[in-house]
Copies of this chain bind each other. A is one copy, B any other.
């Protein structure tokens, strides 16, 4: 889907600079993967149509100002070398990489200046927690759980709708006519907001925090006042917002299911090594939630928390091979 979008955008270019932006780029080993894919696609497209087009690529890597951009910037030289090595026999499109430090719930770039937005595993983060959620109304839970009151579910849904609509409107302003977006984020398979992999993942995390409360390591008030600023919408919820915005045409919307353990590629119905999978899941969740959990519960409890969490996940996976849902959404402006 990335290939298709990049080629379509390429072909529609009236001037030779293609501007792309990766939203929520992070600073890990996958940060520059998107850039390499775009370059690869342009090269491949040029080989196919035999054209010696002089496309230049302007890339913006976006994340919050607290992201470790220094780390990303220091890796660019090596990245450029590795790209060059992979394309020794052809001229690469010149590409220029900039860092764009800002929340994507704000305007990032000038009007009609971007051809393609991409975002991978970022958009399920809300811009903030709904005010109502801060008032201990989801006792013992940190996300939508079985005993979460329906009005709390509604607060989550409203926050998602508000955020996603804002996001869509902002990006629409920034895109050229015909510009595209490819958005990949955690979603939900069924309409029922009480269902889904995210609910179970965070349910087990809440249990692990409850364990620390019982052990006297965390105050109960700390658990009760915490809710994840995440929401996994259903495909219909996403479609509704896109329709409401009246700005984009949906090229494609897909729901994929992934095993909780990202290293478990098997399609079987059971988990081979629940203990190892528990550890893997805990590591992944820790990587993305550590700053948030650390600042609320204190960094010193995180080791104990994620040890317990790995254990809880392993026990869960012994019973059932859990999956979470990913929404892949391709949009075109106009």
Chain A interface residues (CB < 8 Å from chain B): 16-17, 56-58, 60, 65-66, 68-70, 73-74, 76-77, 94, 96-102, 107-111, 113
Contacts and interface: CB of A to CB of B under 8 A. Distances in A.
Given A16-B111, A56-B111, 18 more contacts: A16-B110, A17-B110, A17-B113, A56-B110, A57-B110, A58-B110, A66-B74, A69-B70, A69-B73, A70-B70, A73-B101, A76-B102, A94-B107, A94-B110, A96-B100, A96-B102, A96-B109, A99-B99
Contacts of A77: 65
Contacts of A68: 70
Nearest to A66: B74
A96 to B, nearest CB: 5
A187 to B, nearest CB: 30
Given A17-B110, A98-B98, A98-B99, A65 B74 contact: yes
B58 A73 contact: no
A98 B97 CA distance: 10
Contacts of A56: 110-111
A280 to B, nearest CB: 29
B101 A96 contact: no
A144 B108 CA distance: 47
The quantity of this chain's copies bound in the complex is 2
Contacts of A98: 60, 98-100
A68 B68 CA distance: 10
Closest 4 A/B residue pairs (Cβ):
A73-B101, A17-B110, A98-B98, A99-B99
A66 B69 CA distance: 11
A107 B92 CA distance: 14
Contacts of A102: 76, 96
A4 to B, nearest CB: 24
A107 B96 contact: yes
16 contacts: A17-B113, A56-B110, A58-B110, A58-B113, A60-B98, A65-B73, A65-B76, A66-B74, A68-B70, A69-B70, A69-B99, A76-B102, A96-B107, A96-B110, A98-B99, A98-B100
Contact of A17 (B58, B74, B99, B111): B111
A8 to B, nearest CB: 20
Contacts of A66: 74
A55 to B, nearest CB: 10
